[in-house]
Amino acid sequence: MAKWIQKRRDSLTLEERRVKGVKMIIEGGLSEHEVARKLGVSQAAVSKWYSAYMDGGGYDALRSRTHTGRPSKLDDGRLQDLPSILLKGAEQYGFSTDMWTGERVARVIEEVYGVHYSPSQVVRILHSLNFSWQKPEGVAREHDEEKVKKWVKDELPKIKKSWMKPTDSS
């Protein structure tokens, strides 16, 4: 049997791995060491799973629990409003360019909601809302597409003709 293939570390996947490990011991007759090797985890982890199961908790003892932590400073409603704020653009909030950074978003959150976040925490929040880093397009502010098209149409053929002229090699 191959090692446990884990693409995501979500709680249900980890729970499934714990249950599978205990079943390998109970139903498959494998040792904790063999289970650990097959699942790619430590023997201590497998021992902990098996002890929880045997201490009367059964498979329920292997279930994922919600991780409590510090509650968010912004409630879910405000977090869901954040994308609409960002879509208005950074210039709308007084910045010189229309590019968002963690520091800028933190400043706008503090301005709009009165809540302070560090730029690194803002980046985590944005990732949780499925925002990702984007590389700005490298287009000059002076770039004028119409002028470029006109130059390609009128001037480029002249330049090409001058390159094509035969040179005197006498």
Asked if residue 38 lies in contact with residue 57, where contact means CB atoms within 8 angstroms, the answer is no
> Which residue type does 168 have?
D
- More confident position, 162 or 149: 149
Band (pLDDT 50/70/90 cuts) for residue 165 is low
Which of the two residues, 139 and 165, has the higher pLDDT score?
139
Amino acid residing at 60: D
Q: What percent of the chain has pLDDT over 90?
A: 39
Q: How far is CA 163 from CA 108, 150, 151, 167, in A?
A: 55, 20, 17, 10
Mean residue pLDDT of the chain comes to 85
1 has pLDDT over 50: no
In this prediction the pTM is 0.46
- CA dihedral (96, 102, 108, 113) in degrees, to 10, reads 180
Residue 6 has pLDDT above 60, yes or no: no
Check: CB of residue 109 under 8 Å from CB of residue 74.
yes
